[in-house]
Every structure is written in structure tokens, then in C-alpha cells.
Amino acid sequence: MRLTYRLNQLLPLLGFLLALGGEARAALLSEAVFAHSGGATGGTYLVINTSLGDVTLPSVVRGWYDETGADNGATATNNYIAGLCGSADGCDSVDLRFRNWFMFSPTELPPTILGATLYLEVPAVNGFASPQGVETYTLYSVEYGPSAITNGAGQPGYSDLGDGTVYGARDYTPADLGTTPGIALNTAAVDALKVLALQGGNFILGGAVTSLDETAVPEPATGGLLAAGCALIVLLRKR
């Protein structure tokens, strides 16, 4: 009888702990670039500077992977968000991190390549979303081949889009909304294009928001709060 009384006293406290745990799972603000992108071809293209003039290549297919390994397939009109898509604003997500990719298939390139620039459209509406005011977006080489990256490479695919050889980087701010700024590719990327000019094939770029803390845990766990409540029950039973 006494134990039942004590448990009845404890139930409101357990309810409070669980409610507190629910409130602790705060929604996050986005730290993303290229949110709400896609829906039309164009807007993502590569300009290669050669000794015979510039060659402009639209991306053949593009897309994203999120940190769970899910992807949005591979089409010429896919969304290509990168960064944290938060549930506290208009990003329509559940606090997931994204990385994007772009594939170009040149039919023929002159042997002398002098440089290259990747142009990515930043949608005017929510194309940049971050309370930080600036986010760094970095381009990487992609080790996975076209068939793997376009057919669902899972979590290894997500990792691959942000851990290869750096090909270039750019800081994005709200001033970029509604524009298509360029990212100058570095010597490593140009060398890869030179090999492509000789051997043929596809040129794939991965992209990640590198100013984002990838190790941060978005939500504090409620398990500890529940465990604390259970410990109180055990303590009362012993008494």
C-alpha cells in the first residue's frame, strides 16, 4: 500500500521528465546552400577554358545524398541541396545533413586545358538559409563511378561526396540568392580534366558545406531522463 502511494507520487515526476525530454528535442535552423533547388534543367554547368576557347557543359545528372544514405536519384532536374536542412524553418526536413553531386559527360575536349569554373544557381527563395550569415561550400573528387553514385551508394556514397581530393571552395552569403556564382576549380581538378581529355569518361564532383559541424548531435537523448525516472522507482522499491 505504501509502495503504491509512493509510485502514485512519482508518476507526475516521470511525466515531467518525459515531457522535458520531448521539449529538449529542439528543432534546428538550417545551415544550407541550394535549398529548394531543382525542378528545371540548367543552372548547374561547367565552363572549361581551353587553348581553343571555352567549352560549356551542363550537368547531365545531379542530386544529393543525406547522412542516412538516402538519395534523390539522378536526373538533370534534381534538387541539389547541401548542408543541414533544419526542421525549424522552411527547409521541410527533420534535421538532416546533405551533400550534393554533379556529373558532366564531355564528348570531346581539346588537349590543352587552362582552367575550369563550376557554376551553381542559388535559388532566390531559401537558396541560402543559415543563421551564421556565411557558409563554406567545398568541392571534392568522387571515387565512386557513375553507375554507383547514380544508383544508390548509401552511406558510403554520402561519405564519398565530402572526403576526396579538394577541387575548390567558395563562401556563400544571402547576397548570392537569385544568382549563379562560379567556383574556380583548382589545379587538382584541372589535372583530372586533362586526363579526361585523353581517356574520355565522366567528370563527377561532390560537394559539402564544410563550415557545418558534422559531429554535432542535433538532439539531446531522452534516454538519460527516462533512466533517471526508473532509478527513482528502484530507489523507492528498496525503501
Any domain includes 214: no
The parent domain of residue 107 ranges over 31-209
Which whole number is the average pLDDT over 129-155? 95
More confidently predicted of 232 and 207:
207
Same structural domain, 197 and 151? yes
Residue pointed to by grid coordinates 524553418:
89
Same structural domain, 15 and 88? no
Same structural domain, 166 and 192? yes
Same structural domain, 7 and 124? no
Number of domains in the chain: 2
Same structural domain, 75 and 11? no
SS3 120: strand
What average pLDDT does the structure give for the chain? 84
Same structural domain, 62 and 11? no
What is the rounded CA–CA span in Å between residue 75 and residue 155?
20
Any domain includes 231: yes
pLDDT reported for residue 17: 40
Alpha carbon separation from 15 to 18, 226, 236 (Å, rounded): 5, 10, 17
Q: Can you read off the three cell numbers belonging to residue 88?
A: 525549424
Q: Please name the helix (run of DSSP H) or strand (run of DSSP E) that holds residue 156, with its range, or none.
A: helix 154-160
Which whole number is the average pLDDT over 77-94? 88
Same structural domain, 16 and 133? no
Same structural domain, 229 and 143? no
Same structural domain, 99 and 19? no
Same structural domain, 9 and 65? no
Alpha carbon separation from 197 to 17, 38, 114 (Å, rounded): 63, 29, 12
Any domain includes 41: yes
CA nearest 210: which of 90, 32, 18? 32
Contact 161, 142 (CB under 8 A): yes
Which whole number is the average pLDDT over 61-87? 96
Same structural domain, 19 and 70? no
Any domain includes 215: no
More confidently predicted of 18 and 213:
213
Radius of gyration for the alpha carbons in the chain, expressed in angstroms and rounded: 24
pLDDT confidence of 209, banded at 50, 70, 90?
very high
What is the rounded CA–CA span in Å between residue 181 and residue 126?
16
Q: pTM value?
A: 0.81
Same structural domain, 159 and 188? yes
What is the rounded CA–CA span in Å between residue 86 and residue 66?
13
